[in-house]
Structure 1
């Protein structure tokens, strides 16, 4: 079940990165065009799939464990933003990643 939880983090993160790409490609246009943007629709689809998977995960894992593990999404999005959008990763962001990983480790024990 933890595999599905990690998969869900990747699905959620992919949705977020697609919505960021949508925001970048639809800057300054109307709401209808934003809604019909392929990146926007794809981002929503990933969010929808991750929500359905999330419901399934919660059937088997306590929410007090599952939700904190979703903090891995912060790391995935940061790395995705670095590689896809060229966003910078500072020392403090790396430090934050380390703290997130330590927290997830302890919560799942």
Structure 2
């Protein structure tokens, strides 16, 4: 069953507490009404381990967005099978979804 939260609840929701892709998509769509929001899928090495990351950025303007580091990220190693649900939610949301860097990285391995 999909839980629907109010706009006020979503605007005040701490992204670190989001544990389900459907809530993440609602959150992204609500934040995107108020701010410029972007998500980015990347492949990275962190603490000596390779991982897939879904970075989340948001700012008041596109210019600010281009100058900041991610506000939050989801990692495949932490979420395991749930990770792809979060990627799907990001891709379906009103936020910009960028996977170009990820596919450029994959092309480098082929």
Q: TM-score, normalised by structure 2?
A: 0.27
Higher strand share: 2
Q: Radius of gyration: which is bigger?
A: 1
Q: Which protein, 1 or 2, shows the higher relative CO under an 8 Å CA cutoff with sep ≥ 6?
A: 1
* Higher helix content, 1 or 2: 1
Return the TM-score normalized by structure 1: 0.28
